[in-house]
Structure 1
Amino acid sequence: MTVTTENTGADFEQLLEKLKDSDPETRRQAALDLKDLGDVRAVPFLLERLQDNNPEVQYVSIWALQELKDERAVEPLMEILQNRKTLSHFVSESAAETLGKLQAEQAFELLASIIQDHTEKLSVRLSALEGISKYDISRINPQVDELILNCFRDKTNPEDLRYEAVGLMGELSVPGSFDLLVEILKNPDETDHIRANAAYALGIFDEDAALQPLLDATTDPDDEVRYWATNGLGHLELKEAVPRLIEILGQDEDGGVRSAAAYSLEVIKDPRGVEPLIAALKDKNWNTRWWVIAALGDLDDVRAVPALKKMLYDKSARVAEWAAKILNGFPGTNVVADLEAMLGKLKGQGKDSQRRRKALEKALDSVKKANERKASEDRQSQNAK
């Protein structure tokens, strides 16, 4: 497919001249500007820059060709990969990813051979794997699935390659991989990092059968495994997970895992989560409090309003500002007045007072801008009628 974006008015001819400049930074910037311009007339000139003696210029030219989605780039990019041993690794990585995004069927065997080449640089193999994951061609998809499975099964492969393969099983819903992912998650001989990615993959697989394996994994001794298992329960959107998520929110020792529980309760939107989330506003971890506020905003239950107003006094400026934004979405609340009143009551010039004043002023400014945007959108909507 070829992009047919019109020239946006930038000086196209001048950019082509800069693309031939003796200074590599000027050439690199010209390629970047041509990418942003989105004019397919640039394709032949960008293809010439694939032979540039500066790898940064080559890299940006490939990036531009990727954005332009022009089939004329396929053969030159394949040539780059065939000669990759003489090129900078990040040029080869970009070429591999771009060929996948261009759905270049003729490049599939080349990408597959790179993935399976144990002498190849790991980063290039990973980019080739990323490239083949972008294919959506019925004749090729079974081969893609088999390559991904083999990437994991080959234990002589580096951990990073096997890790990426596990994630792709979930992202692409690779046929036959669900039971394998459950097995990986439960396997004590696998690294915790890979088991955590199996939990992630099960969460996005969209299979209700993932519920029990993920529930079991929420008691895993590894924080990363528990995090992705808890996060995955949200993706499943099954109310059966709510009691366990409430337990995690109040009891897990890791702030990231508690944050994931708040996120999952937000996604599932079960009213049973409201009171536990209100209680979790006292969590010692500011990031967890941030996610709890987000969840309460999405659950849209007025029981949360009094507790959220108290969060305007939170010691974290980010949390206080976020609470103001969320409160502003509840009907009948006047956050602007609340913040102005709080500012009026602030006394003293100490560091704590200055920090609190700065946080409240930032929150007030953010809420006012949000209200102005909404008022403008409402006016435009009325005028359109």
Structure 2
Amino acid sequence: MPALNSTENVQLSEEEAEQLANELKHQLRHGQQLSGDEAAIEKMVAGLGDRRGLLRLTFAESLGTVGYAAVPALCRAMCEHENVTVRRAAAKTLTLISDRRALPFLLKALLNDADPVVQGSTVGAMASIGADAVEGLLNILVDPANTPMQTGLASWGLAFVGSRAPEALRKAAQSEDARIRTAAIAALGDQIQNLDDQAARQLLMDAMRDPDEEVRAEATTLMSKLNDSSWAVPLVIPNLRDQSALVRKNAALSLMKLEDPSVVEELKNCLTNENDDSVTPIFKLAISQLTRDRE
């Protein structure tokens, strides 16, 4: 899709918006094809700014029905419209269409719009597109210039995409960039838990021994979220002796969450040899919690 050309925003009065919404509802109800010409689309986009929620919903559903033809106008509204209600609704409507051509504009809005609802809606639209959105979401996660809000949303979006784009995530988990491996590993949980993806499971096992401590730490944390203690515990225990304090902390916390009291003695042995003051409280917490569970 070419760069968007700015056009003057169409304005609708409340009466015009209500009349148009009623016409659109009638057409939708009777299965009639909606007009996809530029003027009709611009009027529907203008309706996204109406103060009445039900009318906005009608315009959004209508634009979703129009589909691909509405994408340029929706992208323009999302990125450029002065009314935040329109920007929010445009981003949400793009979720209904799931057109990969919108990805650059969704990224632009996520990175430049200060409104958190717009940001969240852009990630929702990206996630609905699937595998093609993975690269952009990963780039957001690994760029230190992005805000915690942006990276948190990207992480959510990546996890949501996971089950729909297993190959893309598996590829990312083997990236030469440790930051991308870390982000991809964090998103593998759904594939392992719900799809029983054995390739993803092997990638997680490999990540437990990754040369980068952030990757090992993320993999160790993910182990505690998979509700499979018989598989996870033997893999997590060696990381109690990892050279990285962060990995050792995450290993102790993961074992605590896996709720297997049989690891208490192992934790006590590791605590005896632990010299990092930031790690020992975590070991003690895990021992205390698991001892209560055993009793």
Q: Output the TM-score relative to the length of structure 2.
A: 0.56
**Aligned ranges for residues 202-221 of structure 1 at < 5 Å?**
202-219=255-272, 220-221=274-275
Tell me the residue number matched to 2:160. Answer: 101
- CA–CA distance in structure 2, aligned partners of residues 183 and 210 of structure 1: 11
- CA–CA distance in structure 2, aligned partners of residues 144 and 174 of structure 1: 17
Deviations 1:164-186 (A, max 9, x none): 1111122224654422322221x
Q: 1:204, CA displacement in angstroms?
A: 0.9
Q: 1:66, CA displacement in angstroms?
A: 5.4
**Aligned ranges for residues 254-273 of structure 1 at < 5 Å?**
none
Aligned partner of 1:153: which letter?
R
Tell me the residue number matched to 2:286. Answer: 232
Extract unaligned runs of 5+ from structure 1. Answer: 1-6, 242-385
Aligned partner of 2:215: which letter?
L
Q: 1:142, CA displacement in angstroms?
A: 2.6
Deviations 1:137-186 (A, max 9, x none): 6554332221111012232xx2111111111122224654422322221x
Deviations 1:60-115 (A, max 9, x none): 87842655797x52254257579x69x9796899667524324534x212211111
- CA–CA distance in structure 2, aligned partners of residues 239 and 174 of structure 1: 15
Tell me the residue number matched to 2:189. Answer: 133
Distance 1:69-1:212 versus aligned 2 partners, 3 A rule: farther
Matched, 1:113 2:171: yes
Structure 1 counterpart SS, 2:208: helix
Q: 1:116, CA displacement in angstroms?
A: 0.9
Tell me the residue number matched to 2:245. Answer: 192
Match of 2:202 among 146, 152, 156: 146
**Aligned ranges for residues 54-73 of structure 1 at < 5 Å?**
55-57=108-110, 63-64=120-121, 67=124, 72-73=128-129
RMSD of Structure 2 on Structure 1 (CA): 4.5
Distance 1:170-1:117 versus aligned 2 partners, 3 A rule: same
Tell me the residue number matched to 1:300. Answer: none
Equivalent residues of 2:106, 2:123 under 8 A apart: no
Matched, 1:180 2:239: no
- CA–CA distance in structure 1, aligned partners of residues 166 and 107 of structure 2: 27
Percent identical: 16
Extract unaligned runs of 5+ from structure 2. Answer: 1-51, 64-72
Equivalent residues of 1:24, 1:54 under 8 A apart: no
Distance 1:76-1:200 versus aligned 2 partners, 3 A rule: same
Distance 1:49-1:178 versus aligned 2 partners, 3 A rule: same
Match of 1:43 among 90, 96, 110: 96
Distance 1:46-1:24 versus aligned 2 partners, 3 A rule: farther
- CA–CA distance in structure 2, aligned partners of residues 30 and 231 of structure 1: 49
Q: 1:207, CA displacement in angstroms?
A: 0.9
Q: 1:27, CA displacement in angstroms?
A: 8.4
Equivalent residues of 2:256, 2:286 under 8 A apart: yes
- CA–CA distance in structure 1, aligned partners of residues 170 and 277 of structure 2: 34
Distance 1:54-1:27 versus aligned 2 partners, 3 A rule: farther
Distance 1:62-1:53 versus aligned 2 partners, 3 A rule: closer
Deviations 1:352-385 (A, max 9, x none): xxxxxxxxxxxxxxxxxxxxxxxxxxxxxxxxxx
- CA–CA distance in structure 1, aligned partners of residues 280 and 85 of structure 2: 44
Equivalent residues of 1:52, 1:58 under 8 A apart: no
Distance 1:24-1:134 versus aligned 2 partners, 3 A rule: farther
Structure 1 counterpart SS, 2:224: helix
- CA–CA distance in structure 2, aligned partners of residues 33 and 22 of structure 1: 8
Equivalent residues of 2:79, 2:108 under 8 A apart: no
Tell me the residue number matched to 2:44. Answer: none
